[in-house]
Amino acid sequence: MRNQTFGEWFFLPNNITWNELRETVGESYPEFGVYWQWSIFFGAVLYIFRDYILIPFILKPLGLRAGVRSRPYPAPPPNKTLEDLYAVNRARPPRQLLTAAASRINWSERAVERWLRQKALSGQMTTLEKFCDMGWQATFYGCFFIAGLFIMLPQEFVWEPSKALTNFPFEQTQAVIWWYCVIDTGFYITQSYVLFTLDRRHDFYIMLSHHIITLSLACLNLTMNNLKQQALAVFLHEVADIPLSVGKMLRYVGRNADILGYVFALIWIATRLVAFPLMILVPSFTETSGKSWPAKFLTQGSTSILLILHILWTFEIVNAYSRKLNNNMDLSDGRSSPEELSGDSENEKMNHGGKISNGIIKNGTSGSGYFSNGITQRTVWKDISVDKARLRN
């Protein structure tokens, strides 16, 4: 048995060394350092394009022209007791704590709930900022998917996924596949950074886990010279986000986006719950069944976790569709918190100027906002003032 370093033992099949791999693969061998240098470079380029060109010169003017709300929501009056309550679980604390806080400050529970909701709303991105973020994602995903059609469809391993592992780990990777993976990795570097700069949503840690797993898989596939499977996963992974991003943009301008919601759900299920496991996960088990090394198990485990995340998100999407069918609510992707959706609904009400009755705007726009039974933000402080007046009397 040939002596291997720890890195070779961990990342490569038995009896294979880095030198042997480089000599066999030749110039097409993907050097780890070069790959990440270019990925970070493209990540920086994409971030600059996003924040200094696309958003200020295209998306922001487009959103303002469409009437998307740009004014931040006002913060509620300072209240130490409610600030402490808000720190527990934002706008949705346990009922016992909410009741105790209401009793302590002599407010009704309803007034406390509204204070918490207003506090959450005031800390969110404005609807215009959400519109711009979705516009950025729609732009990248759309352009990247079109490029992927020209790059990936001519590849034989797209139509026979097992061929991505036929000569593993001595695969000859075309330069265009290498650049395709580099740009996608750069995008996720950008998204990971942006995630920390935006309002922290309820699925922050799920999204962060998704990005970390995606970048970790890029590291593993690169180190094992498995970029063909990496490119195939990228090709399947991005397309569902196109109708999702465009649909959210339409919702932010007060338009119905249910059709795009259904398109998103169909593409999501087809690519992430059917094609992804069949074309990526299954071949990784069957085509390398006679070989065992640590990085193989780590890659299979990470890919399986990614599939589990897809399944968890699918449950949320199904729940969103169930709420839509049962309550005639606006359709969302199920991955946005109730707090985030409420701000969008309030924006729709302001844009349309409709009168509200039982949560439905009379001019045809239905809402899923914070304040049910036709109550808008303008009534919040009025009710609180009434509570205070009663206490004084």
278-287 pLDDT, tens digit per residue, is 999 999 888 8
* Amino acid (one-letter) located at 78: P
State residue 371's pLDDT score. Answer: 31
- In degrees and rounded to multiples of 5, residue 356 shows phi and psi of -110, 135
Q: How sure is the predictor about 213, in pLDDT bands with cuts at 50, 70 and 90? A: confident
143 Cα distance to chain centroid: 18
- In degrees and rounded to multiples of 5, residue 50 shows phi and psi of -65, -55
User: What is the distance between the alpha carbons of residues 30 and 177, in angstroms, rounded to a whole number?
Assistant: 11
State residue 318's pLDDT score. Answer: 87
What digits encode the pLDDT tens for the residues 118-165? 998 888 888 999 999 999 999 999 999 999 999 999 999 999 999 998
> What's the whole-number mean pLDDT along residues 52-67?
97
Q: Judge whether 227 and 177 are in contact, CB under 8 Å.
A: yes
CB crowding 104-124: b at 16 or more within 10 Å, else e: ebebeeebbbbbbbbbbbebb
Q: Judge whether 374 and 345 are in contact, CB under 8 Å.
A: no
User: What is the distance between the alpha carbons of residues 110 and 306, in angstroms, rounded to a whole number?
Assistant: 40
Share of the chain above pLDDT 70, in %: 81
User: What is the distance between the alpha carbons of residues 12 and 193, in angstroms, rounded to a whole number?
Assistant: 31
What digits encode the pLDDT tens for the residues 15-44? 788 888 888 887 777 888 999 999 999 999
* Amino acid (one-letter) located at 141: Y
What digits encode the pLDDT tens for the residues 236-273? 988 999 999 999 999 999 999 989 999 999 999 999 99
State residue 209's pLDDT score. Answer: 85
pTM recorded for the entire structure? 0.77
User: What is the distance between the alpha carbons of residues 338 and 328, in angstroms, rounded to a whole number?
Assistant: 16
State residue 23's pLDDT score. Answer: 82
> What's the whole-number mean pLDDT along residues 87-98?
87
Checking if the pLDDT of 351 tops 50, the result is: no
Write the CA distances from 156 to 47, 153, 160, 161, 201, integer angstroms.
33, 8, 6, 8, 40
State residue 329's pLDDT score. Answer: 54
Q: How sure is the predictor about 186, in pLDDT bands with cuts at 50, 70 and 90? A: very high
